[in-house]
Amino acid sequence: MTSLNKPGGNITGVTFLASDLGAKRLGLLRQFAPNANAIAMLMNPDYPATAGEVRDVQAAARSLGMQINVLNASTSYAIDAAFATFGRERPDALFVGGDPFLLGQREQVVPLAASHSLPTIYPHREYVDVGGLMSYGTSLTDGYRQVGRC
Protein backbone atom coordinates (compact mmCIF):
# COMPACT_ATOMS: atom_id res chain seq x y z
CA MET A 1 0.00 0.00 0.00
CA THR A 2 1.43 3.37 -1.02
CA SER A 3 -0.73 5.47 1.34
CA LEU A 4 -4.20 5.45 2.87
CA ASN A 5 -5.61 7.95 0.41
CA LYS A 6 -3.90 6.39 -2.67
CA PRO A 7 -3.44 2.71 -1.90
CA GLY A 8 -2.42 1.65 -5.41
CA GLY A 9 -3.04 -1.82 -6.79
CA ASN A 10 -6.20 -3.80 -6.30
CA ILE A 11 -7.79 -3.95 -2.89
CA THR A 12 -10.91 -5.89 -2.11
CA GLY A 13 -12.96 -5.86 1.05
CA VAL A 14 -14.06 -3.20 3.49
CA THR A 15 -12.15 -1.70 6.40
CA PHE A 16 -13.10 1.01 8.85
CA LEU A 17 -9.66 2.27 10.01
CA ALA A 18 -11.27 4.24 12.86
CA SER A 19 -8.38 3.97 15.29
CA ASP A 20 -5.74 4.33 12.55
CA LEU A 21 -6.86 7.85 11.64
CA GLY A 22 -6.34 9.46 15.05
CA ALA A 23 -3.44 11.70 14.07
CA LYS A 24 -5.33 12.92 11.00
CA ARG A 25 -8.43 13.64 13.08
CA LEU A 26 -6.35 15.59 15.60
CA GLY A 27 -4.90 17.67 12.77
CA LEU A 28 -8.39 18.44 11.48
CA LEU A 29 -9.49 19.41 14.99
CA ARG A 30 -6.51 21.78 15.14
CA GLN A 31 -7.54 23.35 11.81
CA PHE A 32 -11.09 23.85 13.06
CA ALA A 33 -10.02 25.19 16.48
CA PRO A 34 -6.51 26.62 15.91
CA ASN A 35 -6.20 27.99 19.45
CA ALA A 36 -7.08 24.67 21.07
CA ASN A 37 -4.06 23.41 22.99
CA ALA A 38 -5.60 21.40 25.83
CA ILE A 39 -7.42 18.46 24.25
CA ALA A 40 -9.54 16.01 26.19
CA MET A 41 -9.54 12.53 24.72
CA LEU A 42 -12.52 10.32 25.59
CA MET A 43 -11.49 6.68 25.27
CA ASN A 44 -12.73 3.23 26.23
CA PRO A 45 -9.85 1.47 28.03
CA ASP A 46 -11.46 -1.93 27.44
CA TYR A 47 -11.19 -1.67 23.65
CA PRO A 48 -8.06 -3.44 22.31
CA ALA A 49 -7.08 -0.67 19.85
CA THR A 50 -7.26 2.11 22.46
CA ALA A 51 -3.61 1.97 23.56
CA GLY A 52 -2.36 2.32 19.98
CA GLU A 53 -4.77 5.13 19.19
CA VAL A 54 -3.76 7.04 22.33
CA ARG A 55 -0.07 6.57 21.49
CA ASP A 56 -0.57 7.86 17.93
CA VAL A 57 -2.63 10.85 19.00
CA GLN A 58 -0.23 11.80 21.79
CA ALA A 59 2.68 11.71 19.33
CA ALA A 60 0.73 13.91 16.89
CA ALA A 61 -0.21 16.27 19.73
CA ARG A 62 3.43 16.72 20.73
CA SER A 63 4.31 17.70 17.16
CA LEU A 64 1.45 20.24 17.15
CA GLY A 65 2.29 21.67 20.59
CA MET A 66 -0.93 20.32 22.08
CA GLN A 67 -1.52 18.56 25.40
CA ILE A 68 -3.74 15.50 25.63
CA ASN A 69 -5.67 14.54 28.74
CA VAL A 70 -7.03 11.02 28.34
CA LEU A 71 -10.26 10.29 30.18
CA ASN A 72 -11.43 6.70 30.18
CA ALA A 73 -15.04 5.63 29.96
CA SER A 74 -16.33 2.10 29.57
CA THR A 75 -19.79 2.64 31.08
CA SER A 76 -22.53 5.21 30.72
CA TYR A 77 -21.81 6.40 34.26
CA ALA A 78 -18.12 6.84 33.40
CA ILE A 79 -19.06 9.00 30.40
CA ASP A 80 -21.05 11.29 32.72
CA ALA A 81 -18.09 11.39 35.12
CA ALA A 82 -15.70 12.26 32.27
CA PHE A 83 -17.88 15.17 31.21
CA ALA A 84 -18.08 16.35 34.83
CA THR A 85 -14.26 16.44 34.71
CA PHE A 86 -14.43 18.49 31.50
CA GLY A 87 -16.62 20.98 33.35
CA ARG A 88 -13.90 21.41 36.00
CA GLU A 89 -10.81 21.26 33.78
CA ARG A 90 -12.22 23.22 30.82
CA PRO A 91 -10.40 21.61 27.87
CA ASP A 92 -10.29 23.54 24.61
CA ALA A 93 -11.63 20.68 22.49
CA LEU A 94 -12.62 17.02 22.60
CA PHE A 95 -11.38 14.01 20.63
CA VAL A 96 -13.62 10.93 20.84
CA GLY A 97 -12.00 7.53 20.36
CA GLY A 98 -13.03 5.08 17.68
CA ASP A 99 -14.48 2.14 19.55
CA PRO A 100 -17.86 0.37 19.39
CA PHE A 101 -18.92 1.21 22.96
CA LEU A 102 -18.61 4.97 22.54
CA LEU A 103 -20.30 4.75 19.15
CA GLY A 104 -23.21 2.97 20.83
CA GLN A 105 -23.37 5.79 23.38
CA ARG A 106 -23.33 8.58 20.77
CA GLU A 107 -26.77 9.83 21.80
CA GLN A 108 -25.30 10.41 25.26
CA VAL A 109 -21.88 11.73 24.17
CA VAL A 110 -22.95 14.23 21.49
CA PRO A 111 -25.38 16.25 23.65
CA LEU A 112 -22.89 16.31 26.53
CA ALA A 113 -20.16 17.68 24.24
CA ALA A 114 -22.58 20.31 22.93
CA SER A 115 -23.68 21.30 26.44
CA HIS A 116 -20.04 21.96 27.34
CA SER A 117 -19.50 23.93 24.09
CA LEU A 118 -16.57 21.69 23.20
CA PRO A 119 -15.44 21.61 19.58
CA THR A 120 -15.44 17.85 19.08
CA ILE A 121 -14.22 15.51 16.39
CA TYR A 122 -15.70 12.04 16.13
CA PRO A 123 -14.48 8.93 14.31
CA HIS A 124 -17.68 8.11 12.44
CA ARG A 125 -20.39 9.92 10.52
CA GLU A 126 -23.05 8.36 12.76
CA TYR A 127 -22.10 10.87 15.49
CA VAL A 128 -22.80 13.74 13.10
CA ASP A 129 -26.11 12.15 12.15
CA VAL A 130 -27.23 12.67 15.77
CA GLY A 131 -25.93 16.25 15.96
CA GLY A 132 -22.16 15.95 16.40
CA LEU A 133 -20.00 18.77 15.09
CA MET A 134 -17.67 16.89 12.73
CA SER A 135 -16.23 13.50 11.97
CA TYR A 136 -13.42 12.05 9.95
CA GLY A 137 -13.66 8.39 9.18
CA THR A 138 -15.98 5.93 7.59
CA SER A 139 -19.71 5.87 7.56
CA LEU A 140 -20.41 2.52 9.16
CA THR A 141 -23.77 2.32 7.43
CA ASP A 142 -22.13 2.74 4.03
CA GLY A 143 -19.35 0.34 4.97
CA TYR A 144 -21.79 -2.37 5.93
CA ARG A 145 -23.66 -1.77 2.69
CA GLN A 146 -20.42 -2.26 0.77
CA VAL A 147 -19.78 -5.60 2.45
CA GLY A 148 -22.63 -7.05 0.39
CA ARG A 149 -20.91 -5.94 -2.80
CA CYS A 150 -17.50 -7.52 -2.12
Per-position DSSP letters for 102-130, written without gaps between them:
HHHTHHHHHHHHHHTT--EEESSHHHHHT
Residues (pLDDT < 70) of the chain are 1-20, 139-150
pLDDT at residue 82 in the model: 96
pLDDT at residue 150 in the model: 53
**What domains lie within the chain, and their CATH numbers?**
19-125 (3.40.50.2300)
pLDDT at residue 146 in the model: 61
pLDDT at residue 52 in the model: 92
Q: What is the Rg, in whole angstroms, of the alpha carbon atoms belonging to the chain?
A: 15
CB 95 within 8 A of CB 42: yes
How far the first Cα of the chain sits from its last, in Å, is: 19
pLDDT at residue 56 in the model: 93
pLDDT at residue 137 in the model: 79
pLDDT at residue 141 in the model: 64
